[in-house]
Structure 1
Amino acid sequence: MVELATLLLGAAAAFVVFAIVGLYRVYAGPTAPDRVIATSVVGTNTVIVIALLAAVLDEPVYLDIALVYGLLNFLLAIAFSKFSVERGEVL
């Protein structure tokens, strides 16, 4: 039987791979909204990885870090939306 910690580490590794794939979209674009959405996806994957590591290592303080990182990721998306609306780039 596979241990729970091994499954959680495998899931964390999968999300790291997904984040690396998302970095391609951050680099390639083709538009600024695509890059921001990709950045948000990478940030969300990072929050998931931190939360999974908190469960594996039994360190609840990592959940606090994941929560703060998630809030910063959300604020980035809101700031970009406000910036886009002010510049008239909304379709």
Structure 2
Amino acid sequence: MNGMLLSWASLFALLCIAVAMLLATLRLLKGPAAQDRVLALDTMYICGMLMLLVLGIRVGSTEYFEGAVTIALLGFVSSVALAKFLLRGEVIE
């Protein structure tokens, strides 16, 4: 019973994350300001990381967790670079 419950819960979580990623994609394409687009991109990389984590739990494999850590690191660095670019107009001083 617990395995079946975990399977349905992870499927529901993946569906919710996919809807959130779709809405973030719409904001990325439609966003009125550059700041809105940066926040949508942040939301998308967080959703991608969460999808990998849920898939790792569902499958029971550790490779998904390593991919999620990689996405988290690259997403954080890109967010900082984009924020710095929007603030000052240049990334490297």
Considering the TM-score relative to the shorter chain, is it more than 0.5?
A: yes
CA RMSD of aligned residues (A): 1.5
Tell me the equivalent position of 1:40. Answer: 42
In structure 1, list runs of 5 or more residues that go unmatched.
Answer: none
Q: 1:74 aligned to 65, 73, 76, which one?
A: 76
**Identical pairs, percent:** 25
Superposed displacement of residue 9, structure 1: 1.6
**Aligned residues of 1:25 and 1:34 also touching (Cα < 8 A):** yes
Aligned counterparts of 2:11 and 2:55: Cα–Cα separation in 1: 7
Superposed displacement of residue 13, structure 1: 1.2
Aligned counterparts of 1:9 and 1:69: Cα–Cα separation in 2: 21
Q: 2:66 aligned to 64, 67, 72, which one?
A: 64
Superposed displacement of residue 8, structure 1: 1.1
**SS of 2:61's equivalent?**
coil
Q: Which runs of 4+ in 1 moved over 6 A?
A: none
Scaled by the length of structure 1, the TM-score of the pair is 0.89
In structure 2, list runs of 5 or more residues that go unmatched.
Answer: none
What is the identity, as a one-letter code, of the residue corresponding to 2:33?
A: T
